[in-house]
Amino acid sequence: MTQAAEIRVAVLDDYQDVAAGLAEWGSLGPEVAVDFLHEPIPRAEAAARLAPYDVLCLMRERMPLDADLIAALPALRLVVFTGGRNPSVDTAALAARGVTVCNTRNGEGGIATAELAVALMLACARSLPREFANMAGGRWQETLGEGLEGRTLGILGLGRIGARVAAVGRALGMRPVAWSPNLTHERAEAGGAALVGREALFSESDVLSLHMVLASSTRGIVGAAELARMRPGAILINTSRGPLIDEAALVAALREGRIRAGLDVFDREPLPADHPLRGLPNAVLTPHLGYVTQSTFRMFYEDTVEAIAAWRRGAPVRVVTA
């Protein structure tokens, strides 16, 4: 008779079915049983489906782990989430339960996200999705694109990723400007952009790219008033977090044809199949791909295996405290 595994591990939201091949899960030993879950788990089913597991491995913020769900998981002893921080995990509730929480290194997520932001700019400016569809359908060119040289690139949030986008913008001949609540002239200059006021950022930018952390102070920072200030035909890029933008106001502005948008993040993810954004011709959408690269995922899963092994030895690594 085969002995039952002592420890059950769930690797959540492995959308691409790649986790098993990117790390040596077998090195954890025969007493560790690992299940790779490829589809998102609906909130109503989460407690029942995750209750048997001792270890949960979370991909970024795809599965929120709040106090109510934690209370419904009596077997849970270890949580490993990928990346350096995860505001959707209630670390205080886990600590109160005596559950160890570990993270992983960040990988190249910041670099890759900046690259995707620029890709979305170009896709919007040159109507690439429409022309891709034309070629696939046997048709020829139908659109007039726009060049980015000489255009103003607005950066809302000039941190590490925002500064990298600004650098690529300069390489394309764009003029980067930036604003955020605490940005100074000196920090803006160091980040490769000119500091402007909040209203000017929206009214002067031909392309506006968001690079802010989602918090109570930044939720909805781009609302109907800000969208109304944007230039006709301006491009709004969001590779940060969906709730930074008032989604209803954005859908209204896009439906009116006043602006264009390149979006990698949304209020609800995965984006529902019938969401109105999916049917708008002036919206270029990607499924939260900013950090999704082979090298980053390999680092994520290798670090996850390392964290589980270290925890089993009684010497956990990269421990996250409440």
Q: What is the pLDDT of residues 272-321, one digit of tens each?
A: 999 999 999 999 999 999 999 999 999 999 999 999 999 999 999 999 99
Rounded to whole angstroms, the Cα distance separating 262 from 178 reads: 19
**Catalytic pick among 60, 175, 241, 260:** 241
Sign of the four-CA dihedral 300, 301, 302, 308: positive
CATH of domain 7-107+293-312: 3.40.50.720
Domain 109-285 class, CATH top level:
alpha beta
**Strand, helix or coil for residue 156:** strand
Burial grade of 286 (CB within 10 A; 0-12, 13-18, 19 or more)? middle
- Domain ranges for the chain, please list them: 7-107+293-312, 109-285
In this predicted structure, the answer to whether residue 3 has a pLDDT above a threshold of 70 is: no
Active site residue 185: no
CB 150 within 8 A of CB 144: no
Once rounded to an integer, what is the mean pLDDT over residues 88-95? 97
Taking only the tens place, the pLDDT of each residue in 6-39 is 999 999 999 999 999 999 999 999 999 999 999 9
Q: Cα separations (Å) of 308 from 6, 17, 105?
A: 13, 20, 15
Residue with tokens 């600590």: 95
- Report the chain's mean pLDDT, rounded to a whole number: 97
* Catalytic entry in 108, 131, 146, 269: 269
Question: What is the mean predicted confidence (pLDDT) over 233-249?
Answer: 98
Q: pLDDT tens digits for 31-46?
A: 999 999 999 999 999 9
The tens digit of pLDDT for each residue in 213-223 reads 999 999 999 99
Is the pTM here over 0.85, yes or no? yes
241 included as an active-site residue: yes
Candidate list 151, 164, 175, 288, residue with the active-site label: 288
Q: DSSP string spanning 78-90?
A: EEEESSS--TTB-
Catalytic, 38? Answer no
d(CA 159, CA 114): 11
